[in-house]
Amino acid sequence: MEKSLADLLDLSHFYGKNNEFVIGGGGNTSWKDDNYLYVKASGTQLGSLTEQGLIKLDRHLLDELFSCAFPEESFQRDQMILGGLMKSCIDNERNLRPSVETPLHHLIRYKYVIHTHPTRINAMLCSMDCRNIIKKNFPDDVLYVEYIDPGYVLFKKLESEISAYRTRFSKDPGIILVQNHGVFISADTCDEVRRLYDQCLNIVNGLNSYSFDINPIALDENTLEVLPAIRMLLSESTIKILKVRTNPLISHFTVDQKMAEMVSLPFTPDNIVYCKALPLYVGTNESPAAIIEEFQVKLAQYRADYGSSPKIILIKGIGLIAADESIKMVDILLDVFEDLMKISYLSQAFGGPHFLTAEQISFIENWESENYRHNMSRGSASGKVMNKIIIVTGAAQGFGSGIAEDLFRQGANIVIADLNEAKGMTLAAELNAGAKNNRAIFINTDVSEASSVKNMITKTVAEFGGLDAFISNAGILHAGGLEEMTPEIFELMTKVNYTGYFLGAKYASAVLKSQSRFRKGYFTDIIQINSKSGLRGSKKNFTYAGGKFGGVGLTQSFALELIPFQIKVNSICPGNFFDGPLWSDPERGLFVQYLRSGKVPDAKSVEDVKQFYENQVPAGRGCTVADVMKAIYYVMEQEYETGQAIPVTGGQVMLN
């Protein structure tokens, strides 16, 4: 890679990884020489930009393109320009689109051009006194341009302004400030780019002493009931993911209707592209029922007025809620709208907020180029459980981790609920490293303690907005006959294997019931990972078998109680998972335990014990995660089976 391109990537990462400069897929960067322009592809992220995310264009072909006459009609003009830009690309086998602002990067003569939307600078650019403040406090050679629709119109405006600037200063502007948009910093060296950025920030910070607090605060007690209901009400053709964020800044703008109006319109094109033009505000906070009722009324009116559902909901006492089809986009929405709140708050130092007009909003809403960038940033993926929210207890290792990994590969958002924080956090990080649109999170959970299980459910709802499946997998096993088993071990195993299933079903079903009230025909699942030991007795293993037998009884009883709420409850009863730590751990695994306890006659080694159990399976092998997953997907996909204990035993246990 050329050093100049490596330096461009360093600059891109420096500003792109900082939310104070760039949020979502916003911002763009470039480097040029006399012949070629390298510019960020539309929809790629500045913070993680690679050489493959840069597009090389022939500058001579760009000169020819912009010497042409273009139609007045904006759509035809944009399509003609897009076609010309694509023809100017060199070695673009992936058919990536150059950034929509490529013409501006070509126009400016400096080698490096960095365009971002810094929060504190935009607070000035999105204020009522913007022009006067810049004229009074910035050097004369800073170019200020009033807002104009982005794309070709902005390019032509800047072409004219820069031409006049060159006549006056005999150089190109290093700093261009565009009202309600952002800043273009241009220079021939990276050091000069950084110096000019720092100069802008120092001036703005010197004029604005306002500060805000974005440290998280505790969730309102109504949140757990409200979010799942709103999630279902917003889920028309596709199920949505919701996430709530609350802090003092958000509370400031959600305290009443008057304050909500201070963030009720967009400041920049990105606000519209990601969050839609208007949020929905709910001012009631008396009870979950009252909040949901007001939301339903306002949602119906919003859909009638705008023909779509809101992506941003502001609720007094609860906070900022974002809704979309993936957690990836939800996080972007939260960041973009919180940035809008910061800009509104900081703009008070500059005469108050200056929003985009109805005409400007309409242009962005219908602008194909920005819609393309938005869709590119969404990514694409598919799977059997795409974007579902699934808790798996005991998921840090063994069967649980295998289940979580497979569900994640199939598109689910996974909660790894376990006591083993080190392994749970490691697994979550490994899954997220390859994620496209979904996410895995770890929640430290003791399934035998009610408060811990309730906390698990609360955090899940806050993170994703609801729940689609609860998989009770956590369990422990200490083998031993009547002589060996102590009351303490018996009680511990019962709490984890039996009571843990009850607690999970209790608190998970509350969320699933809430969802069912607001979306008829949407089925959810509670699935217990049981065992073949729950289908027949197990010699010198009665504590484990008793808990699993009891689990089947819970499954059948829960199924009868919950099916009116479209909640299916089933147990999966795997055979022996010989490859997992439950069996194979060299110190505490069942092979070792059974060898020591003499459960297997004449066994002299662990291999003898393993062979003994494999010989009992007609299929000749132990159960695998893949075997269990087929059963899990079956019970989730069908809508007419509940209360079942489904054996996955290779024929070792056959039901009558």
For 588-594, which contacts have Cβ atoms below 8 Å and span 24 or more sequence positions? 590/477, 590/479, 593/478, 593/479, 594/479
The reply to whether 544 belongs to the active site is yes
Helix 450-464, helix 500-516: angle, nearest 10: 30
Q: How far is CA 343 from CA 31, 155, 185, 643, in A?
A: 30, 25, 20, 54
The DSSP secondary-structure symbol of 212 reads -
Task: Please choose, from the candidates 299, 314, 332, the residue with its C-alpha nearest in 3D space to the C-alpha of residue 232.
Answer: 299
Phi, psi (degrees; rounded to nearest 5) at 38 = -110, 120
Nearest-angstrom CA–CA distance, 394 and 418? 5
Sheet holding 312-315, edge to edge: 241-245, 319-324, 312-315, 280-282
| Distance between CA atoms of residues 212 and 271, nearest Å | 20
Q: Which of 38, 147, 544, 613 is catalytic?
A: 544
Residue with tokens 């000019």: 196
Please spell the DSSP secondary structure of 411-424, one letter per residue.
T-EEEEEES-HHHH
CA distances 160 to 104, 143, 156, 165, Å, are: 12, 12, 6, 9
- Residue 574 structure tokens: 């795997």
The string of DSSP codes covering 331-392 is HHHHHHHHHHHHHHHHGGGGTSB-PPPHHHHHHHHT-HHHHHHHHHHH-----TTTT-EEEE
In 3D space, the residue among 101, 147, 154, 117 whose CA is nearest the CA of residue 369 turns out to be 101
In angstroms and rounded to an integer, the radius of gyration of the C-alpha atoms of the chain is 30
Cβ pair 235, 519 in contact under 8 A: yes
Partners of 90 in the β-ladder? 56
Strands (E) across 473-622 are located at 524-529, 567-574
Instruction: Report how far residue 386's alpha carbon sits from residue 62's, in angstroms, rounded to the nearest whole number.
Output: 42
Three-state DSSP state, 466: coil
Q: Which residues of 294-320 are buried (b: 16+ CB within 10 A; e: fewer)?
A: bbeebbeebeeeeeebbbbbbbbbbbb
Q: Is 472 in contact with 247 (CB distance < 8 Å)? A: no
CA dist 196 and 141 (Å) reads 12
CA distances to 63, 532, 539, 619, 621 from 650, rounded to whole Å, are: 70, 10, 20, 5, 8
The end-to-end CA distance of the chain, in Å, is 68
* Active site (catalytic) residues: 544
